[in-house]
Amino acid sequence: MPVRASSADRFHVDSSGIGQTDDVTDSVGPDPQYELFADEFLDHAREGLYNAHYDRPACLRLLGEVAGRTVLDVACGPGLYAEELVGRGARVIGLDQSPRMVQLCRQRVPSGEFRVHDLADRLHWLPDDSVDLVLFALGLEYVDDRTSTLRELRRVLRPDGALVLSRLHPTGDWLRHGGSYFDVRIVEETWSRGWQVRYWLAPLERTCEELHEAGFLIERLVEPRPTAEAAHVDRDRYERLLREPIGFLAIRALPAPWR
Ligand SMILES: C[S@@+](CC[C@H](N)C(=O)[O-])C[C@H]1O[C@@H](n2cnc3c(N)ncnc32)[C@H](O)[C@@H]1O
């Protein structure tokens, strides 16, 4: 659970009514936070309610048919998505900032191609229009220049491809942290297993703007509900997630044809 929130950056609404961020001086930075608890994350996310019965089913549904397609798994973590995707016939290229996560991926999915990569850097090792689908699950929050990263994902995506991303639900973030819902700011939390994480809070509008600025059109936005199996994992959480927007949301976006 959260213990501390820090530093708000300025977010204002311009004359068009669209929010803009300026004077952002804070950053999550290049430290691979998940390196310290990569193995524990694998243990937690393999069968845990939030990942196995809530986020993964939603994103996999949004990705659709993957057989024979090349999927770029961005912030791939320990390879749980990659395993599902390869099982469904996809070719997977994965990247993560944490070397231990990449090691876990290579062990779990030997047919995948994984590399250590910080999303602050350009994907110089991938040509334009080289992947059919991009999956970016639960990683956007850790990226400082999200628009540049999304622009780079659009560059490597084929024009007829799609990006599927999930992020913490901004309503849940705001309920936990209070303050202004519209502030774009960094928070630090200590999660239940003692994991310390530092990441960006941003209103839904900001994520939509970043996708727009990067040249994407939002096709679908989903506020997932947990699957029925989640009730057997943790009935209280399952019932709360059926009622309250305190988990994640998922978006399917297409490259805008005019960019
Ligand atoms: C919550 S985990 C999600 C893992 C995986 N996508 C999943 O859903 O199972 C977040 C992942 O983002 C990775 N990550 C965080 N910041 C990153 C960055 N700047 N570049 C690349 N990966 C990053 C972390 O190392 C971690 O593996």
Fold classified for 44-168+210-255? Rossmann fold (3.40.50)
Ligand 1 within 6 A of 98 CB? Answer: yes
Please give the backbone phi and psi of residue 236, each rounded to the nearest 5 degrees, phi first: -65, -45
Q: Does the model's pTM come out above 0.85?
A: yes
DSSP string, 86-126: HHTT-EEEEEES-HHHHHHHHHH-TTSEEEE--TTS--TTS
Ligand 1 within 6 A of 137 CB? Answer: yes
Atom 17, ligand 1: residue with shortest CA distance: 97
CA of 138 to the centre of ligand 1 (A): 7
Fill in the DSSP letter of residue 133.
E
Ligand 1 within 6 A of 77 CB? Answer: yes
Atom 26, ligand 1: residue with shortest CA distance: 77
Ligand 1 within 6 A of 114 CB? Answer: no
Ligand 1 within 6 A of 140 CB? Answer: no
The domain ranges of the chain are: 44-168+210-255
The pLDDT tens digits of the residues spanning 15-74 come to: 333 433 444 458 998 999 999 999 999 999 999 999 999 999 999 999 999 999 999 999
Residue ranges in the chain whose pLDDT is less than 50: 1-24
- Write down the pLDDT at residue 5: 35
- Write down the pLDDT at residue 258: 75
- Looking at residue 243, its amino acid is R
H or E element: which one contains 185?
Answer: strand 184-190
Ligand 1 within 6 A of 254 CB? Answer: no
* Sheet containing strand 248-255, strands side by side: 113-116, 91-96, 70-74, 131-137, 157-168, 248-255, 216-222
